[in-house]
A and B are shown apart, each in its own frame.
Chain A
Amino acid sequence: MRIFLFVVLALIPPAFIGLMIRDGHRAPAQAAVPAGKPSSGAEADKTLLALFQGDLGGAKVKDKVALYDEKGLFDYIDGAAPIFIQRHYRKLAAADMASADGSDMDCAVYDMTEPANAQSIFDAEKSATAKPVADFPDAISGPMSFVFHAGRYYVKMTAFDAKAEAALPGLAKALKGKMK
């Protein structure tokens, strides 16, 4: 009995220290793991990054394509992140780009895990005054922007001048071609 008591008391210190350290450094609560998440994140990342390779309708990536996970998404779109995460967002690939004549634009491709999620975020963000695009289903264009979804991807492109705006449909078509 004495040994048992000794062992119990001796186990208290490490157990307590462990519990307290865990509480003190506990990470923020995470969103639930999305249903249908691909088994291989690395493979999905590779596919996502590959969208920016090859022909981009004359546009070019200016520097690099950056990837953002759930936490990092807040550093890219701040308070808009939760509505993506609620819809099983997996990862974002974003890049500053230039049209063939050097005008600036940016392009963000959100991997929404499943086509239904991409459709859902497209519907949620669709501007009331944005116009559908002729011969390009599931796309809208507002002045200075072009937004579409295809498969599991939701794509938002923004132009910073009129020349870049004119180049957005070409980039969109090239990206969509890679999403088949």
Chain B
Amino acid sequence: MTTDGRPNPYECGPVQGNHTAPPPDYSGMDRRGALRVGVTTAMAVGSVALGFALRDRGSHKNTRALPTIKDHRADKPAGATDMAIVRGSDPATNVRKAIEALGGMGRFVRHGERVVVKPNIGWNRLPEQAANTNPDVVAEVVRLVVAAGAGKVWMTDASVNTPEQCFARSGIEKAAKAAGATVVRPDASAFREVNVSGKLLRTGDVLFPFIEADRVINIPIVKQHGLSLASMALKNWYGVLGGQRVKLHQNIHLSIIDLAAMVKPTLTILDATRILLANGPTGGSLADVKQLDTVAAGTDEVALDAFGATLLGLNPNDVGFIVEGMKAGLGTPQWHNLKTVELGG
């Protein structure tokens, strides 16, 4: 009761109407009550901890036990060329000249090393339709890697369309095999879970050669992309992952950077033999294709993508993943400021 006789709403006391109940203990609850409150509070605290644990299990896996992909970059010799751009009618010759300008494949691959080459084989499309990397470019890269003394050369990609169709229709499987590569199709058994440690992607199922290889060579095609504006070197790392692709498109530019930061390739060879100017990434109509007969190679994926963007008529500063890649320290879009060699054309 309050001092003026009205009931105190905050007062602990007997249940109304029970006039036989003992008088309230204003010094605190009785022992049984205190025990109840204590046990319930402990349950609540425990539940908070359990809730956090369950949430972490669902969206932020404990990634410490998972393997990570190592840094595949090679040391840069003093005075070496950063980037080579070669124009000419034969794609294989363009590749050879570009690699020679960078110092030869021996700069990137040492005797006995295991190498994985990663073209874009995402689509059930012919080489003329420019949705996948040109098979002649892929084959020449494989030949150069074999000639450099590689102990093993894998060629793989996680296709978007049916892999059997993509690998065959693109002409890449046949060309890569003939050049000496072991082709790894993206069957379920080819993937291993790794720690991505990205801002958006914490873990992912990655094609095993990217975990086992000593060197990684990226061989993207230059093409327009409906969501990210362009698909080139940085975007090509989508093809190391299995699983549903919708999750990668919630924030496409940051997802691209998460994967690019994970892989860190030894060398990138940008295929602009034919580029897809519209209706990417799938393409289909030859009306959307432009033949440029160009190959660019280097170690800075951001620089190569900035160059590729110009081929598509884009300002590199308008392409989100190029800007984000620069911010993440993956390279520079100022490719003109690098030591660049241009041949042919």
**Chain A interface residues toward B at CB < 8 A:** 1-2, 5-6, 9-10, 12-14, 16-17, 19-21, 23-26, 28-29, 71, 74-83, 96, 106, 125, 127-130, 142-145, 147, 156, 158, 160
What B residues does A20 contact at CB under 8 A? Answer: 50-52, 54-55
B57 at the A/B interface (Cβ < 8 Å)? Answer: yes
Interface status of B161 (Cβ within 8 A of chain A): yes
Name the B residues within 8 Å of A74 (CB-CB).
244-246, 248-249
- Contacting pair B225 A12 (CB below 8 A): no
By secondary structure, the A interface counts as helix
In contact, A127 and B279 (Cβ under 8 angstroms): yes
Q: State the Cβ distance, B161 to closest chain A Cβ, in Å.
A: 7
> In the bound complex, how far is the Cα of B225 from the Cα of A80, in angstroms?
7
Contact at B279–A78, with CB atoms within 8 Å?
no
Using Cβ atoms and an 8 Å threshold, which residues of chain A touch B278? 125, 127-128
Residues of chain B with a CB closer than 8 A to A9's CB: 37, 40-41, 43-44
Contact A80 B244 (CB under 8 A): no
> Do A25 and B128 touch across chains, with their CB atoms under 8 A apart?
no
B285/A142 in contact, CB under 8 A: yes
Is there an interface contact between A144 and B286, defined as CB atoms closer than 8 Å? yes
Nearest A residue to B60, CB-CB: A24
**Contact (Cβ within 8 A) B48 A16:** yes
* A21-B51 in contact (CB<8A): yes
B28-53 contacts to A (CB < 8 Å): 29, 33, 36-37, 40-41, 43-44, 46-48, 50-52
Judge if B59 is at the interface, Cβ distance under 8 Å: yes
Contact status of A145 and B51, CB under 8 A, knowing A74-B246, A127-B278:
no
Interface check B281, CB cutoff 8 A: yes
Q: Which residues of A contact B51 (CB under 8 A)?
A: 16-17, 19-21
Q: Using CB atoms, name the residue of chain A closest to B247.
A: A28
Cβ contact within 8 Å between B287 and A13: no
